[in-house]
Amino acid sequence: MKFRTTLVVGAAAAGIALSACSSQPSAGPSNGGDAAKLISQSADAMKAVTGVHLVITAEGKVPNVQITKVEADVAGKPAVVATGDATVQMGAAGTQTAKLIYVDQHLYSDLSEPGKWVDYGKGDSIYNLGVIFDPSQGLANALAKIKDPKESGSDTIDGTDTTKVTGTISSNDVAQLAGSRKAPEKAQDVPITVWIAKNDPHNLVRAQVESPLAQDAKLTLTLSDFGKTVNVEKPQVTNPTDAGN
């Protein structure tokens, strides 16, 4: 199995909101001016984030998509590092959870055999985990590109009070987070919902977007532990063969 296909799904597939989100009574949609201001504040806040715990979950069938969940601690400075797990759909055999480590620009995983680490080579060629911190291509940019934002109530997510904002976003900006861009003539606006912390600095707590790759498919990204330090050590590689072939 080529790991290139499976990991990219972590950022490009579709997803569901985690059950930890509990809805609170909503005051109803407000005007777009308040929502636009909140979106701008959140975009500025995300530019300052250097480390985070993220969970990406997938729902719906997307062609060539095999990952249904990624959970990892990721830091962007002084260098991009990450450690976590991915749940991979293995066909009729069901799902398998694999460990992931990104350090020294290499991606390591025990996908082939649990407990045995394989070096999958230069990680940026598979998926640039640091893209989420990139002001011009990451989450801050995606927030700034949301069109026609409108407040749509309040939710509490993992103990954090948030404001729910709905809008649309170009599929190009979604694909950019996945490390690729669709041709401009194929771009389309897709619905997006974001949950932004009510308290300063108004961090993005959750984002959910319909996948441009398939109908009835959604991507949900949940963030926490903003600014966390992520310490990662290179694993002992037991099978140094080229796992990408």
Q: pLDDT for 167-209, tens place per residue?
A: 999 888 877 676 555 555 677 888 999 999 999 999 999 999 8
Whether 163 has a pLDDT exceeding 60, the answer reads yes
Reported confidence tier of residue 213, pLDDT bands at 50, 70, 90 = low
pLDDT value of residue 245: 45
Q: Specify the pLDDT at position 186.
A: 74
Which two three-digit tokens encode residue 187?
């771009």
Sheet holding 116-122, edge to edge: 21-23, 147-157, 160-170, 189-197, 204-210, 218-224, 51-59, 67-75, 81-89, 95-103, 106-113, 116-122
Nearest 10 degrees: Cα torsion 231, 131, 211, 16: 20
> How far, CA to CA in Å, does 245 sit from each of 43, 208, 212?
39, 33, 28
Tens of pLDDT, residue by residue over 123-146, are: 666 666 777 888 888 899 999 999
In this prediction, residue 91 has a pLDDT band, given cuts at 50, 70 and 90, of: low
Each residue of 96-130: b (16+ CB within 10 Å) or e?
Answer: eebbbbbbeebbbbbbbeeeebbbbbebbebbbbb
Helix residue spans in 48-152 (DSSP H)? 139-144
Q: What's the rounded Cα separation, in Å, for the pair 58 and 216?
A: 11
Provide the b/e sequence for 194-217 (b: ≥16 CB within 10 Å).
bbbbeeeebbbbbbbbbbbbeeeb
- What is the set of domains in the chain, with CATH numbers? 3-224 (2.50.20.20)
